[in-house]
Structure 1
Amino acid sequence: MTAVQVRVAHGSPCWVSLLVHDLERAKAFYGPLLDWSFTPGPAELGAYVRATLHGAKVAGIGLAPEQPGLPTEWTTYFAVDSADQASARVRDFGGTVAVGPLQSERAGRLAVAADLSGAFFGLWEGQEHLGWEVVGEPGAPVWSELVTSDEPLAATFYGSVFERAVVAAEPSAVARGEEDATLLVEGHRVAGIRQTTDLRDGPPRWRIYFAVADVDLTVRQCRELGGALLVAPHDTPYGRVARLADPEGGRFSVVALP
């Protein structure tokens, strides 16, 4: 596998990041689970590392600020041509910009925002760091989907913020377990929106999927490393999937692609 830096099209997921309370513990969990190594990230982000898969950057993990009740949660970042303009559209369409926009050394410009349901997501205007360098390989990100109780509202919001098409799925596709809607960039599916009234494992949020070679083996490794199984392995139209949590409760999904 060769690390490739390619500018991701505006409106497409390009990076995932996790804030934790114990950085060394997180590295000890995700490193062996997803075959990650770690390199230092931008200094002004504090204690922050970039996870690499055989030399290719795939994700970031940083130390969370000392704030009571702050949950451990993965955040999906979307590539944007201008973090400042995208942040303005977030506000224009009823969302909230919680952080930034701010410059991250020469890596790029970022903001962290929340949609109308409170689901957090990131905006990334890549400069020297364009985003992940491999996807779809075991250990790398493969998909992001929004879990929400109001798919039509979310579709309107994200379509407006990213100025991209959001297309509702046919009822038969939803019945098969596919997303209720997908965000399209240049005709390609880049992210999903899934409506549910069952939010027992958390509030509305962007759910990240990592590819793995064997879901059942990954579940066993997760438990051995101190993590937890949230939803048992099961087959879907996209491959075998399980939902997991790291030792701090950070939720993520793994999928073995068909």
Structure 2
Amino acid sequence: MTEARGSTGLNGTTHTRRTPGTPCWVSLMVHGMAATQDFYAELFGWEFQPGPQQLGPYMRALLDGQEVAGIGQMPPDRHLAVAWTPYIASDDVDQTAETVRACGGTVGVGPLDADNAGRLVIASDPSGAVFGIWQAAAHLGTGITGVPGTPAWNELLTRETESVAKFYQAVFGYEEEAVVSADFDYVTLHVEGRPVAGIHGVGHGLPRDRGAHWMTYFEVADVDDAITHITGLGGRLLKPAHDTSHGRVATVADPEGAMFSVIHSAD
């Protein structure tokens, strides 16, 4: 990821204000707040404190005192997919929202202020994948990465990369690097020369009940142990653990069905 960084040590990397275009936060809207907090507290060791309430009850997850993610209450009259949503940093969320619309995306929520924390938009790209945009004020985003229980990567799963990559490039100014392969459609998005997110074209492998969507990867100490823990807590294994050039990875779902991946990053 690309951002301004603070100190680096045994406890991971602490972060300050992100460069625009960098994923800076992940948030989950659920039906059962208490049960979901219990699940992630057991899995990642998260603790919780109240956050801005503009969109309803909302809690920030903390790891060793550093904010790492958010969990909010889904309005009872909304029947949306329960999913982790990445927020991408912007210096002017109103202008970015206008660019989203001009490039064929949709703005579903905002722009609106979240107390003194910052200003946000929830949008979707032309393929329907939902993402957030965050203009930081008091809340800069995820406070620490690089240790178990923290976001490690965000990846868009979509039908094909070419057209949707053009959208994100136009909105956030990304540089792109494509994987040259006859049977692997993948683009890495860069900010200032550093990889910050990926777009994976999976063709007809896209779930019919979910469509295009963003996937958050969370760092864990041991992927296989995490799978055992997740299934024991009522979650599900969706894609078995396998080794990649970036580390060992598995895709899972929490008890409400929110998909995410766990990774033990390669050294």
Q: Residue by residue, what CA displacement relative to the aligned partner does 1:169-207 show, whole Å, maximum 9, x if unpaired?
A: 2228x75xxx71111100000000100020137311110
Alignment map for 1:206-245 (pairs within 5 Å): 206-245=214-253
CA distance in 1, matches of 2:176, 2:165: 6
Distance 1:38 1:3, change over 3 A: farther
Q: 1:221 is paired with a residue of what secondary structure? A: helix
Q: 1:191 and 2:197 equivalent?
A: yes
**TM-score, structure 1 normalization:** 0.95
Q: 1:51 is paired with a residue of what secondary structure? A: strand
Q: Residue by residue, what CA displacement relative to the aligned partner does 1:79-114 show, whole Å, maximum 9, x if unpaired?
A: 011100100000000000000000001100000000
1:3 CA drift (Å): 7.8
Distance 1:145 1:3, change over 3 A: closer
Alignment map for 1:69-108 (pairs within 5 Å): 69-108=79-118
Distance 1:57 1:68, change over 3 A: closer
Counting matched residue pairs gives 254
Question: Which residue, 163, 170, 176 being the options, matches 1:160?
Answer: 170
Q: Residue by residue, what CA displacement relative to the aligned partner does 1:12-57 show, whole Å, maximum 9, x if unpaired?
A: 1000000000000000101110111111101333211000111111
CA distance in 2, matches of 1:117, 1:141: 24
Q: 2:29 is paired with a residue of what secondary structure? A: strand
CA contact (8 A) 1:99 1:113 kept: yes
Question: Which residue, 16, 19, 29 being the options, matches 1:9?
Answer: 19
Structure 1 stretches of 4+ moved >6 Å: none
CA contact (8 A) 2:12 2:146 kept: no
Amino acid at match of 2:123: A
Q: Which residue of 2 aligns with 1:169?
A: 179
Q: 2:164 is paired with a residue of what secondary structure? A: helix
CA distance in 2, matches of 1:35, 1:18: 17
CA contact (8 A) 2:13 2:145 kept: no
Gaps of 5+ in 1: none
Distance 1:2 1:211, change over 3 A: closer
Distance 1:68 1:46, change over 3 A: closer
Q: 1:44 is paired with a residue of what secondary structure? A: coil
**TM-score, structure 2 normalization:** 0.91
